[in-house]
Amino acid sequence: MTLTRHCSACDDERAFEQPPCADGHDADCPEFACAECGMAIVIGDAPELPVIVRSRAA
């Protein structure tokens, strides 16, 4: 899959291509790379991570 997006490294509109996904997402992979410079972007929501609160008694 190819998308056209603004590449901040190239400072212009560029084609972004979906590289092979090592995580097994296939066509649903959110990672894309600029076809010119290789800068990576992630499209979509970031997964929620649990918040871990640690405290120490004085």
How far apart CA 24 and CA 26 sit, in angstroms, is: 6
**pLDDT at residue 50 in the model:** 76
Q: Residue 36's pLDDT is what? A: 96
Q: What is the pLDDT of residues 15-57, one digit of tens each?
A: 999 988 888 888 788 899 999 999 999 887 766 777 777 887 7
Q: Please tell me which residue, 46 or 3, carries the higher pLDDT value.
A: 3
| pLDDT(58) > 70 | no
Residues near 17 by Cβ (< 8 Å), separated by ≥ 6? 1, 2, 32, 33, 35
Can you give the pLDDT at residue 47? 66
Cα angle for residues 26, 19, 45 (degrees, 5° grid): 65
Q: How far apart are CA 29 and CA 42, in angstroms?
A: 9
Do 33 and 17 meet the contact criterion of CB atoms below 8 Å apart?
A: yes
The verdict on pTM exceeding 0.75 is: no
